[in-house]
Amino acid sequence: MGAVQSSPLVLTTADACFIPAASALLPPRASSHVAKPRSNSSLSGRIRRVDEILEPPVSKFTSPVAQNPIFPRCLALKCVRSEMEAKNDETAEKPTLGFVEIDQGLIDQMVYDALVWSSLHGLVVGDRNVNRSGKVPGVGLTHAPFALLPISFPESQFREACELAPIFNELVDRVSLDGKFLQDSLSRTKKVDAFTSRLLDIHSKMMEINKKDEIRLGLHRSDYMLDEQTKLLLQIELNTISSSFSGLGCLVSELHRSLLSHYGETLGLDPRRIPTNAAVSHYAEALAKAWIEFNNLKATVLVVVQTEERNMYDQHWLSSVLRERHNVRSIRKTLAEIDAEGELQPDGTLLVGGVPVAVIYFRAGYTPNDYPSESEWRARLLMEESSAIKCPSISYHLAGTKKIQQELAKPNVLERFLENKEDIAKIRKCFAGLWSLEDPHIVGKAIESPELFVMKPQREGGGNNIYGDDVRETLLRLQREGSEENAAYILMQRIFPSISPTTLIRDGICYKDHAMSELGIYGAYLRNKENVIVNEQCGYLMRTKISSSNEGGVASGFAVLDSLYLT
């Protein structure tokens, strides 16, 4: 394979998907600095795919791979290679953008330049070691964790993910309007999950008073992994509340483009193969259009935030673009502050601190930790009762729960909400295996082969899922207790994406390890009565984590921000 050809690529902020097909593969990797991984025949002999243990057959699962150690302890800036586990020859020979073979001096220089760039351009988060970093802007800053170079990703699958975004936007809207479907689907979960129960209570009250949201706004993110064995793009989850990193994710794409503009010729990489990422601009534009539809020039956008938010700069990027490009003001309030300062006018207008609110943008309220007292629940109900545009509304929030995801994967359920057969087929193709714990057959198979499944509760924010032997132990405990707690979970096919050597940077320290990545596609949907004003994909988020880590949240400390190199 030769160097990447420099055929022209048209990359626009309007649509990152319309990119001419890549005409060359990635450049070859030198192997003189790395020992060839040994074959692991015993592993392949003992691993079975889920389609081999399930009857009747289901969608193919990929085989698990050997796990790697966690990040080493803090070291000097110079990159330290962790002890990598053996990979089979086929995986080792695949072209990657890992840094294991690149000259150490070059890595050190790129790391230094990347850290400087991050500091100058606002690719920052609050430092967990500084007490006030989550409350006072500008205090205790550190760079956001990131991968040194973008991850290679097939253009065809990237295009497929982008094309799915408007379909999922419409699906969420349709599901949100079917209150009976939401209540019925989550009825068993309500009995055992107090948090979901409180959300359903608010939703039920809105149904009782026949509350109609004529203007509906959704800022979503659908997350995928590319299955290594089947090459299928499979959905992990659909986020309908607090879809984060539209701001910092854009900056990582710019960081990588900057690095390749300086070092790309040496590395044999073309910076134009990193698609433009304008997620923060598209999100701000959707919020501004919603503000216009509300039609009150004195009104503001209310950003609902957590009491301590070290990821505040990602949020501030969005507010800054909203103000500077659209002249729309925003205010930041916690749920407790909204309860204390909020007031509902007779016409439904919500005032917070005496200021009318046009749009409520939730960057909190998705976890039970955000509701430590009744004050926060009063605030959530107050906002839902108001005429302000909620992003998301309570029905949009519930439409993004794991249980609804599992229900939509059942036969003939998508047809309840969508008419276009091609759209239905596209969505169904990206569904991984999803099951209720009411199915004794699938529960038995998960106990037998827990490594092929993930148990998911109705939670967002990372760090909540159950993997490996913990799946077996949890399922056995639920069987022994005979309670209805199983309704709080779903079972999902575990996806095994390709693994490649990657350089990761956190807290100014550089690590080399094998890693896997997860692609998120942002989507925006705005509707006023029957008029669809916005329905588009808005950019992407790439997150990379070492292969030994099950969870994948950046803010929760499991992953780093990344970008795409289309192949």
SS3 (DSSP) at 459: coil
User: Of 190, 216, 221, 527, which residue is the catalytic one?
Assistant: 221
Query: Which contiguous run of DSSP H or E holds residue 112?
Result: helix 104-121
Q: Is 456 a catalytic residue?
A: yes
User: Of 461, 468, 508, 553, which residue is the catalytic one?
Assistant: 461
Residues 6+ apart with CB under 8 A from 184: none
Query: Residue 494 annotated as binding?
Result: yes
User: Of 133, 176, 222, 239, which residue is the catalytic one?
Assistant: 239
**Beta-bridge mates of residue 126:** 141
User: Of 160, 407, 460, 536, which residue is the catalytic one?
Assistant: 460
Query: Residue 19 annotated as binding?
Result: no
Q: Is 126 a catalytic residue?
A: no
Helices (H), 177-278: 179-185, 187-192, 194-208, 246-267
Tell me the one-letter amino acid at 467.
Y
Query: Residue 241 annotated as binding?
Result: yes
Query: Residue 2 annotated as binding?
Result: no
Query: Residue 306 annotated as binding?
Result: no
Please give the structure tokens belonging to residue 32.
Answer: 């003189």
Query: Residue 40 annotated as binding?
Result: no
Residue 318 burial (C-beta neighbours within 10 Å; 0-12, 13-18, 19+): buried
Query: Residue 415 annotated as binding?
Result: no
Question: Phi and psi dihedrals of 331, rounded to 5?
Answer: -125, 150
Query: Residue 551 annotated as binding?
Result: yes
Query: Residue 554 annotated as binding?
Result: yes
User: Of 133, 244, 281, 395, which residue is the catalytic one?
Assistant: 244
Query: Residue 556 annotated as binding?
Result: no
User: Of 190, 380, 456, 512, which residue is the catalytic one?
Assistant: 456
User: Of 237, 293, 376, 536, which residue is the catalytic one?
Assistant: 237
Query: Residue 295 annotated as binding?
Result: no
Tell me the one-letter amino acid at 222.
S
Query: Residue 310 annotated as binding?
Result: yes
Query: Residue 150 annotated as binding?
Result: no
The terminus-to-terminus CA distance of the chain in angstroms comes to 13
Query: Residue 157 annotated as binding?
Result: no
Query: Residue 242 annotated as binding?
Result: yes
User: Of 216, 402, 472, 527, which residue is the catalytic one?
Assistant: 402
- Please report, for residues 406, 446, 496, 549, the alpha-carbon distance to residue 54 in angstroms, rounded to integers and kept in the order given: 18, 10, 18, 26
Q: Is 461 a catalytic residue?
A: yes
State how beta strands 124-126 and 355-362 pair: unpaired
Can you tell me the distance from the alpha carbon of 497 to that of 228, in angstroms, rounded to the nearest whole number?
5
Can you tell me the distance from the alpha carbon of 355 to that of 291, in angstroms, rounded to the nearest whole number?
14
Query: Residue 293 annotated as binding?
Result: no
Tell me the one-letter amino acid at 502.
T
Task: Tell me the HSE value of 441 on the side-chain side, using a 13 A CA sphere.
Answer: 8
Q: Is 460 a catalytic residue?
A: yes
Q: Is 239 a catalytic residue?
A: yes
Q: Is 85 a catalytic residue?
A: no
User: Of 176, 433, 543, 552, which residue is the catalytic one?
Assistant: 543
Query: Residue 366 annotated as binding?
Result: yes
Q: Is 7 a catalytic residue?
A: no
Please give the structure tokens belonging to residue 472.
Answer: 């077996």
Query: Residue 518 annotated as binding?
Result: yes
Task: Give CA 253 to chain center in angstroms.
Answer: 16
Q: Hey, which residues are catalytic here?
A: 221, 237, 239, 244, 402, 456, 460-461, 543
Residue numbers belonging to the annotated binding site for Mg(2+): 237, 239, 460
Residue numbers belonging to the annotated binding site for ATP: 237, 402, 456-465, 467, 492-495, 518, 545, 551
Residue numbers belonging to the annotated binding site for substrate: 221, 241-244, 309-311, 315, 363-366, 543, 554-555
Residue numbers belonging to the annotated binding site: 221, 237, 239, 241-244, 309-311, 315, 363-366, 402, 456-465, 467, 492-495, 518, 543, 545, 551, 554-555
